[in-house]
Amino acid sequence: MTTAMVPSRLRPGWILGSLGLLVGAIAVAAAVGPAQIRAWDAVAALIDRLPFVALDTGLTDRQSDILWLVRFPRIVLGGLVGAMLAMAGAAYQGVFRNPLADPYLLGVAAGAGLGATFVIVTGAGLPLPVAAFGGAVLAVVLTYGLGRTVRSRSTTSLVLAGVAVASFLTALQTYVQQLNAETVREVFAWILGRLSTNGWDEVIMVLPYVAVSAGTLFLHRRLLDALALGDEEAAGLGVPVRRVRLVVVAAATLGTAVAVAVGGLIGFVGIIVPHTIRLLAGSSYRIVLPLAAVAGAAFLVAADLVARTVMAPAELPIGVVTAFLGGPFFVLVLRTTRGVA
């Protein structure tokens, strides 16, 4: 028995609504901080950078520098990370037909955490994002290697392989931390998630990877709808199931790895956002994926705003904020899907 996916077209109202949420989140995040800037002035400063547009923003040079060198890079980075995690979560849920799947399904988070921990405790010259990305890719390779050794190469086997790899890498990370107790605080600060930037460098670094990953997932949105019918039904429609699953998982993992590399372990975004869209707008991936990108960006920008203001001048790890919201949501999803095969 299959689930009807209606409506299957993206309505203009949902596009405008999601874009409105994103613009609102950006305006408030740009305006709020130690140096207060009016939300309209922040929006005007953003519009003023568009080609053939000239607005009198009313900002001083200091306020303009704060916006363009500090706040906007962090907002854009948060938007990219949130969009990528939300799209990856939706893609994993579609590929594995599991509503509880999230971007860390294949041990990506554990691998990234191990890579970052290694750099922090050893003081190696390797940049933290590069080490985290390498660890994430290693985790995926191990997961696929373990999954292929199982006689029945089903999606369940791959999920179980990811759980096993994640458990092993997490235990290894804990062991490394215990050997270097003086760096435990720094490691945990990264593990709990953070969005810190040095100008636009991090944005420029992640943008190509996010563009490739998100573009690949977007191009496969109709094929994900076919996979939702089941492997046999999709194959009967002429869909190369194994190839589609491999490409989608690879794209989602690449995007997740680079998001984790610059943002730390920010959980639950890949569960909260896609499920909210399914409840409100429909379950077709022609709807879920584009709206997930916009809503995921808005969600993480808003979560980062809470993280840096609720305990100001101290900063709460953004992973704590998303976990506070995501924990109850996860329980709700678990209860509503109980008994569903």
Q: How confident is the model over 204-228, as pLDDT tens digits?
A: 988 999 999 999 999 999 999 898 8
CA distance 158 to 193: 26
Length of the chain: 341
pLDDT at 6: 47
> Over the chain, what is the mean pLDDT?
83
The DSSP result for 225-237, as a single string, is HHHTT-HHHHHHT
Give the chain's radius of gyration (CA, Å). 20
Say which residue, 90 or 122, is predicted with more confidence. Answer: 90
Instruction: Please give the share of the chain, as a percent, with pLDDT higher than 70.
Output: 90
Mean pLDDT of 43-60: 76
CA–CA distances in Å: residue 302 to residues 26, 32, 67: 8, 11, 17
Cα distances (Å, whole numbers) of residue 340 to 73, 98, 100, 262, 277: 42, 10, 12, 36, 20
Residue 51 CB coordination number (10 Å):
4
Tell me what pLDDT residue 250 has: 85
The CATH class of the 83-336 domain is mainly alpha
| Residue whose structure tokens are 């901080």 | 33
For the chain, the structural domain boundaries read 83-336
Compute the distance between CA of residue 300 and CA of residue 314 in angstroms, rounded to an integer.
19
Average pLDDT estimate for 12-37: 88
d(CA 155, CA 132): 26
Query: Of the spans 120-134, 190-204, 281-295, which averages the highest pLDDT?
Result: 281-295
How do residues 57-81 score in pLDDT, each as one tens digit? 777 888 888 888 889 999 999 999 9
Band of pLDDT at residue 4, cut at 50, 70 and 90: very low
Residue 341 has pLDDT above 50, yes or no: no
Asked whether the predicted pLDDT for residue 16 surpasses 70, the reply is yes
pLDDT of residue 39 exceeding 50: yes
Model confidence band, residue 155 (pLDDT cutoffs 50, 70, 90): low
Which carries the bigger pLDDT value, residue 336 or residue 35? Answer: 35
For residue 77, the model assigns a pLDDT of 94
- ∠ CA 18-269-38, nearest 5°, is 50
The confidence band for 249, taking pLDDT boundaries of 50, 70 and 90, is confident
